[in-house]
Amino acid sequence: MERRGERRHRTKLFVFFVSLVYTTRLHALFKKADELSHLVIGAAIEVHRLKGPGLLEMKLVDGVVRMILPGANWEA
C-alpha cells in the first residue's frame, strides 16, 4: 500500500510534467497532429457513447468519419 507522501510526490511530478508539456513550444505539425488526434478520439468516444459497446470496427470507423466530416459520402 502506498503512503500518503509517495502519492503527493507522484502527483507533484505529474503536474510538473503536464505543465512542462503544455508550456513547451511545439512544432506546428505536432500541434496539428495533436488537434487531429483530439478530434478523432473525441468523435470515437461520442460514437461509443451514442451506440454503446460492441460495435463492429467498420461501423465505428464509419460513425467517426461521419462525425468528423458530416457531409462526406464515405463507405467503409
Q: Among all chains, which residue has been given the C-alpha cell 503512503?
A: 3
Q: Does residue 19 lie within any of the structural domains?
A: yes
**Does 49 map to a domain?**
yes
State the total domains in the chain: 1
Q: What is the number of alpha carbons within 13 Å of residue 55 lying toward its C-beta?
A: 18
pLDDT tens-digit profile of 3-23?
Answer: 666 777 788 888 887 777 766
SS3 assignment, position 71: coil
Q: What is the DSSP letter of 53?
A: T
Query: How many whole angstroms separate alpha carbon 17 and alpha carbon 62?
Result: 36
Domain membership of residue 39 as a residue range? 4-68
Residue 55 · residue 63 · CB < 8 Å: yes
Q: Which three cell numbers stand for residue 55?
A: 460495435
Write down the pTM of the prediction: 0.51
Residue 36 lies in a domain: yes
pLDDT score at 76: 47
- What is the predicted pLDDT for the residue at 74? 59
Tens digit of pLDDT for each residue in 20-68? Answer: 776 666 677 777 888 888 888 888 888 888 888 888 888 888 888 888 8
